[in-house]
Amino acid sequence: MILAIDVGNTNTVLGIYEGKKLLDYWRIGTEVHKTSDEYGMIINQLFNYSNYRLYDISQVVISSVVPTVMYTLEHMARKFFKCEPIVVGPGTKTGINIKYDNPKEVGADRIVNAVAAYELYGGPLVIVDFGTATTFCAISKYGEYLGGAISPGIQISMDALFQKTAKLPKVELVKPETVICKNTVNSIQAGIVYGYVGQVDYIVKRMKKEIGADNTKVVATGGLAKLIASESETIQIVNGLLTLEGLRIIYEKNK
């Protein structure tokens, strides 16, 4: 079995694979001040709760957009799982040709998503990842990473609205039935949710036009993918575990 670890700015997702089958997964908060022992004990507790054991894991594969936790997690893998982890970065075999001006600038999560989406759905593709930031990635029919766009995430926008206004309250992120709302809470919810739907659809349509292929598939992932996809005109596929799948595939290419 392998343990896949996807470290995001807000959350870290862990998944156990046996071959191509995802057996279980968990989501924990990303905390840069935690030690390797603390991360190891958290994972051990999750394993025990789900009737897994640390010695069940033969390999660990990690992608991270938080550089300050990488040493911690690598040390944790060596100590608790007795293996040298595969870390997605320069030199890792992905099968994706990155056409960025500086390929090292592309976040590991975006590369891993591209690997998974191209393997699962073929190209050309647009991938929308609703994380702390919302990222849009364009993949050619040949599996080339063409580039993309980055915007503030939905939660960041909501937090900024609450922090920078004197009278607007912090609200739950749900979709109201109408855009013309009759109270402040629903008005904020409508502006955030439907505003993001409009942003996503416009950027995706521009990307599809620049790719120049009518058969471009649009895949969404991330915690809020289902919420936006339910109203989007362009999102065709929702895969909330796309990054874990990409880590599994990268493990297969590098084992």
User: Active-site positions?
Assistant: 109
Domain with 8 in it: 2-87
Q: Do 51 and 102 sit in the same domain of this protein?
A: no
Could you read off the pLDDT of 47-85 as tens digits, one per residue? Answer: 999 999 999 999 999 999 999 999 999 999 999 999 999
Which residues are CB-neighbours of 182 under 8 A, at least 6 positions away? none
Radius of gyration of the chain (CA): 19
Q: Do 75 and 112 sit in the same domain of this protein?
A: no
Any alpha helices (H) in 103-183, and if so which ranges? 108-121, 154-164
CA torsion, ordered 193, 194, 199, 200, to nearest 10 deg: 70
The answer as to whether 255 is a domain residue is no
pLDDT of residue 159: 86
pLDDT of residue 228: 94
Which of 87, 110, 126 terminates a domain? The answer is 87
Report how far residue 18's alpha carbon sits from residue 150's, in angstroms, rounded to the nearest whole number: 34
Partners of residue 8 on adjacent β-strands: none
pLDDT of residue 225: 93
Q: Do 116 and 198 sit in the same domain of this protein?
A: yes
Report how far residue 19's alpha carbon sits from residue 3's, in angstroms, rounded to the nearest whole number: 11
The answer as to whether 241 is a domain residue is yes
Q: Do 44 and 122 sit in the same domain of this protein?
A: no
Question: What letter represents residue 55's amino acid?
Answer: Y
pLDDT of residue 32: 92
Q: Do 111 and 236 sit in the same domain of this protein?
A: yes
Report how far residue 141's alpha carbon sits from residue 200's, in angstroms, rounded to the nearest whole number: 21
The answer as to whether 170 is a domain residue is yes
pLDDT of residue 62: 96
pLDDT of residue 155: 87
CATH code at 212? Answer: 3.30.420.40
Could you read off the pLDDT of 103-126 as tens digits, one per residue? Answer: 888 989 999 999 999 999 998 999
Q: At what angle do helices 242-254 and 108-121 cross, to 10 degrees?
A: 90
pLDDT of residue 251: 95
Q: Do 183 and 116 sit in the same domain of this protein?
A: yes
Which of 27, 57, 87 terminates a domain? The answer is 87
The answer as to whether 219 is a domain residue is yes
The answer as to whether 30 is a domain residue is yes
Q: Do 27 and 148 sit in the same domain of this protein?
A: no
Q: Do 200 and 104 sit in the same domain of this protein?
A: yes
Contact 25, 248 (CB under 8 A): no
Structure tokens at 147: 């580039």
Q: Do 229 and 123 sit in the same domain of this protein?
A: yes
How many domains does one find in the chain?
2
Which of 87, 108, 125 terminates a domain? The answer is 87
Q: Do 70 and 191 sit in the same domain of this protein?
A: no
User: Which pairs with CB-CB distance under 8 Å and at least 24 residues apart come from 139-144?
Assistant: 139/96, 139/114, 140/211, 141/213, 142/97, 143/95, 143/96, 143/97, 143/118, 144/96, 144/97, 144/98, 144/99
Contact 25, 5 (CB under 8 A): no
Q: Do 47 and 115 sit in the same domain of this protein?
A: no
Q: Do 54 and 106 sit in the same domain of this protein?
A: no
The answer as to whether 251 is a domain residue is no
The answer as to whether 92 is a domain residue is no
Average pLDDT, 10 consecutive residues per value, the chain (255 residues): 94 95 95 94 95 94 94 96 92 90 90 96 95 94 95 89 85 91 93 95 96 94 92 96 96 91
Nearest to 25 by CA among 49, 58, 41: 49
Query: What does pTM read for this prediction?
Result: 0.90
The answer as to whether 146 is a domain residue is yes
